[in-house]
Structure formats: C-alpha cells, structure tokens
Chain A
Amino acid sequence: MIDILIAFSMVLGTILIYKLSSIIHTKFHFPFTLPIFISTLIIIILLVALDIPYETYMVGGDWISELLGPAVVALAYPLYKERQLLKKLVMPILIGTSFGAVVGITTGVILAKWAGFEHEILYTISSKSVTTPVSMAITDSLGGITPLAAVFVMIAGISGAVLSSYIFKYTKIHHYLGRGIGLGSASHAIGTATALENSEVEGSISSIAMIISAMVVSIITPWVISILL
C-alpha cells in the first residue's frame, strides 16, 4: 500500500516538475533552460535534499520509463508524415547520418581508450549519440553499464543542443539539412527539440536523422567496436 502511495507521488511529482520546466522554458528561452535539463536538475536537488534514494524514486519512476518503448514506436509518426521529403533527400541524409554515426562511435571509443578507461566504459560510451532507449539497449547487449549510458546520452544531448548555434556559426553550416542532420545525429531527441525551435523542416530532418542514426548505430556498433578493440 505504501509502495503504491510512493509510486503515485513520484509519478505525479515528475509530471508536475516536467510541466513547470516547460513553462520556464517558454518564458526564458535559453539552451540551458531545456525541460530535460531543468526537470532532471530539480528532481535530483529535491531527492538529495529530502534524502530519498534513487531506488525509492524509481518505484514510481519506472512507471514513466515503461512508456519509453511505446514513445520510440511513436516516432514512426513524424517519419511517416515527412516521407515525401525523406524520399527526396534520402542520399544526403543517409550519407550524412552514417558518417556521423561512425565518427561518434570511433571518436568516443578511441578517446576513452587513450584516456585508459576499461572496456566496460568503452562499450557504454560507444552509443552515446543516439536516443536513450536505443543507447541503453545497445549498451546492455554489449555488456556495458546501462544507467551510465543514459548519463552519456544526456551529456551528448545537452552539450550538443547548447553548443549547436556556435558550432553552426563557426563551421558555416546554414542549410536546414546540415543543421537538422547535425542536431539529430549528435544530440538525438534533445537536438531534435532544439531543431524544431529553429524551424519545422529542420525539426523533421532532425527526427529523421535521429531515427536513422539510431538504426545505423545499433547495427554497426558491435562491428566497429570489434575492429577498434
């Protein structure tokens, strides 16, 4: 009975904080006010302040995480909606995202290897550019540390979203296709949310890039890793 009460209040609390964060983001429109960032920050501060362990929070949090699977299935919708555009741009999208996927896996793994980290960490860092559930699944199948994968994915998402405007400016990437693919390939859903703020086309390109990147990365990661290690 108490478990259900805890679970219920954690679910409700998370939804409320998410709503609050969305309001803050619409009012103060900065990259570092992204709802995923402030919501996580607020919840961690609250849990630490109230001395609630993560495991207790997850009694309810798991109910929300359970919906990650169907949420990824739902991404077929923007893909279907933009299928005409996708058809027209299929080559640049495929080449750009595949290239980004290879760069993401190799640079992450090689840099971490140079820094002297153990294999478990290398497996975990390899898929950090793709959306959380996919990255966690890849990490799990490789034998990495699944919750840490989510942490890397989040750092990739937030840093990419925050830095994108500077990166595009200095590398002269102005075309919606380049920007959308850059954001979707490097920063998955968080990048896509940022791209959607710039323009609808850029957002849809970014979601397509995120989806293709997730597929490419989940297929080639074991391969690339076996070549690198």
Chain B
Amino acid sequence: MLHILKIAWHLLILYTIFLIGNWIQQTFHLLIPGSVIGMIILFLLLVTNTVKLSCIEDGTKFMVRHLTLFFIPVTVGIMSYFDLFRGRGVLLVIIVILSTILVMISSGWISQWLIMRKEAKHD
C-alpha cells in the first residue's frame, strides 16, 4: 500500500514536471514537445542533485517499465485508418519499413565504425 502511494506521489511530481515542460513549450513557442523538455528538466534536476534520485525513483522505474501500456490506446487508433491502407496507402507502409531499415543500418554501422576505430587506437 505504501509502495502504491509512493508511486502515486512520484507520478504527481513527474506530471508536474510535464506540465512545466508544456508551459515552457507554449510560452516560448518551441518545437520541442513539452514532455521532452520535462525530461531534460528532470535530468538536469538529478545531475545537479536538486532532486534526489530516491524522491522519484519508484515512480519513474514504474513508468519506464510499463512504457508500452501508455502507447496502446494511441496505437489502437490504427483502426480508424484501415481505409487509408487499402490501395495506394499500402505504399506508405512499405516506405516506412524501407526507411526504418535504412535508419537502422546507417546509424548502427556508423557508430560501430567509430567505436571500433577508437578501440583499435587504444589497443
């Protein structure tokens, strides 16, 4: 019970930081989403030791572990777009998959090449 209350309290802190992030985004008309700004804020708070890890640890662990759950209602929204994927829309699915493969190969290959070069130098 105490654990649940702790998670709820941490969640409230996370939600407040999210709202602050949103407020910053709207006030300064930034393109970076409020949630990402909130994430940067929390990271800075942790690094500068303004917020102790124990003050948010249980709640953040819980949210990260169940990240998938929070996506589900949005992904179910696919059902409203079935029509789009009939006919020409199938092309979009193929394009997304193709582009995804290219991103994975290019980013993975470049970073591996960089680290291998660095490791070889040290040896």
Chain A residues with CB under 8 Å of chain B are 14-15, 17-18, 35-36, 39-40, 43-44, 47-48, 54, 57-58, 61-62, 64-65, 67-80, 83, 89, 91-93, 95-97, 99-101, 103-104, 107-108, 111-112, 115, 117, 121, 125, 128-129, 132-134, 136-138, 141, 147-148, 150-152, 154-156, 159-160, 163-164, 167-168, 171, 173-175, 177-179, 181-183, 185-187, 189-190, 193, 209, 211, 214-215, 218-219, 221-222
Contact = CB atoms under 8 A, between A and B. Distances in A.
Given A74-B64, A156-B96, 20 more contacts: A39-B72, A54-B77, A65-B73, A70-B15, A71-B67, A74-B63, A77-B61, A80-B43, A89-B115, A103-B107, A107-B98, A125-B92, A134-B36, A155-B96, A159-B97, A164-B104, A171-B109, A185-B104, A219-B32, A221-B31
A167 B64 contact: no
A64 B69 contact: yes
The CB with the most chain A CB atoms within 10 A, among B59, B111, B116, is that of B111
A181 B111 contact: yes
7 contacts: A67-B63, A70-B63, A71-B63, A72-B38, A79-B43, A160-B104, A181-B107
Interface residues on B, range: 35 or more
B76 A47 contact: yes
B97 to A, nearest CB: 4
A44 B33 contact: no
Contact of A99 (B57, B64, B91, B107): B107
A86 B117 CA distance: 18
Contacts of B99: 103-104, 107-108, 111, 125, 128-129, 156
Interface string B98-115: 111111111111111011
Contacts of A80: 43, 46-47, 53
B35 A182 contact: no
A155 B42 contact: no
Contacts, number: 311
Contact of A18 (B11, B56, B72, B114): B72
Contacts of B105: 167, 171, 173, 182
A18 B75 contact: no
B118 interface: yes
Contacts of B71: 36, 68, 132, 154, 189
A193 B103 CA distance: 18
Contact of A147 (B17, B57, B74, B102): B74
B115 A178 contact: yes
The CB with the most chain B CB atoms within 10 A, among A73, A107, A167, A209, is that of A73
A125 B95 CA distance: 9
B81 to A, nearest CB: 6
A81 to B, nearest CB: 9
A155 B97 contact: yes
Contacts of A167: 101, 104-105, 108
Nearest to B18: A69
Contacts of A95: 110-111, 114
B73 A77 contact: no
A167 to B, nearest CB: 5
